[in-house]
């Protein structure tokens, strides 16, 4: 289906035929293919396959931070794609910082929440709306025809609908309010405040995955998996969101 390093094979993205990003990639011109994929996304082609291919091109170009960002964004659309996860793992292994991603779940939570984690935000929304409509339909049939046994089925559907819709809104809130952020710069200093004169806390490198806590005045307060907090320039980071990141203010 998609590329799984080191053997290149790009997914056919549903994009305008004037852009032949795949040919550029296969020809070894990774920078041109990156520009091509970015141009496609700027025209509104937001999908997991394009972002996955963009991550492949960034990784071949040697930009680990950009590759991790593209792969993490692709996972928002393709959470069950095994090739995507394999390539993300490859990119993480090339990162210099030994930091666990902030959204890694404990084994028990990972097992219990596996159905939730296997669905994208849009899939959760579709699941919730569809099951809610089916629940309403069954209740209508039960009332009109006085059919026994449909109440229990409608109750199960109502629970699934509530879980799907609440999961969608929780996921959307997390992506907007507390997104995962990726270090893009080769090296950046984690500081105690929003000032270049503040205390240096640590050095972070391209590909480090952090949790964004607060954004203010061109700075982002981040939380490391170790529990340490600090501030980084927004211009050196990429936020894991479905749509492209707006230029930092």
| Cα–Cα separations (whole angstroms), residue 200 to 121, 229, 231 | 37, 12, 10
Q: For 21-94, CATH number?
A: 1.25.40.10
Q: Percentage of the chain surpassing pLDDT 70?
A: 89
- Please check whether residue 141 is in contact with residue 133, taking contact to mean a CB–CB distance below 8 angstroms: no
The structure's pTM equals: 0.88
Which pLDDT tens digit goes with each residue over 86-144?
999 999 999 999 899 999 999 999 999 999 999 999 999 999 999 999 999 988 888 88
Which pLDDT tens digit goes with each residue over 62-87?
999 999 999 999 999 999 999 999 99
pLDDT, position 11: 54
* φ, ψ of residue 103 in degrees (nearest 5): -105, 15
* φ, ψ of residue 15 in degrees (nearest 5): -135, 175
CATH class given for the domain over 180-239? mainly beta
CA distance 200 to 193: 9
pLDDT at 18 over 80: no
pLDDT at 4 over 50: no
Listed by start position, the domains of the chain span 21-94, 110-177, 180-239
């Amino acid at each position: 289906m998609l590329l799984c390093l080191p053997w290149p094979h790009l997914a056919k993205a549903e994009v305008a035929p004037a852009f032949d990003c795949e040919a550029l990639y296969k020809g070894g011109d990774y920078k041109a293919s990156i520009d091509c994929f970015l141009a496609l996304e700027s025209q509104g082609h937001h999908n997991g396959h394009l972002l996955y291919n963009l991550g492949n091109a960034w990784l071949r170009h040697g930009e680990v931070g950009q590759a991790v960002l593209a792969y993490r964004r692709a996972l928002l659309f393709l959470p069950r794609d095994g090739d995507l996860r394999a390539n993300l793992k490859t990119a993480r292994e090339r990162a210099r910082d030994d930091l666990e991603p902030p959204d890694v779940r404990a084994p028990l939570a990972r097992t219990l929440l596996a159905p939730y984690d296997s669905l994208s935000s849009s899939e959760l929304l579709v699941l919730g709306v569809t099951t809610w409509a089916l629940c309403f339909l069954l209740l209508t049939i039960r009332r009109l025809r006085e059919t026994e046994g449909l109440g229990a089925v409608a109750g199960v559907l109502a629970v699934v609908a509530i879980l799907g819709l609440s999961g969608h809104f929780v996921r959307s809130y997390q992506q907007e309010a507390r997104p995962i952020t990726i270090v893009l710069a080769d090296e950046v200093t984690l500081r105690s405040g929003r000032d270049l004169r503040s205390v240096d806390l640590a050095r972070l490198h391209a590909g480090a995955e952090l949790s964004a806590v607060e954004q203010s005045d061109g700075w982002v307060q981040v939380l490391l998996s170790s529990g340490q907090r600090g501030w980084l320039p927004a211009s050196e980071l990429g936020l894991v969101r479905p749509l492209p990141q707006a230029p930092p203010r």
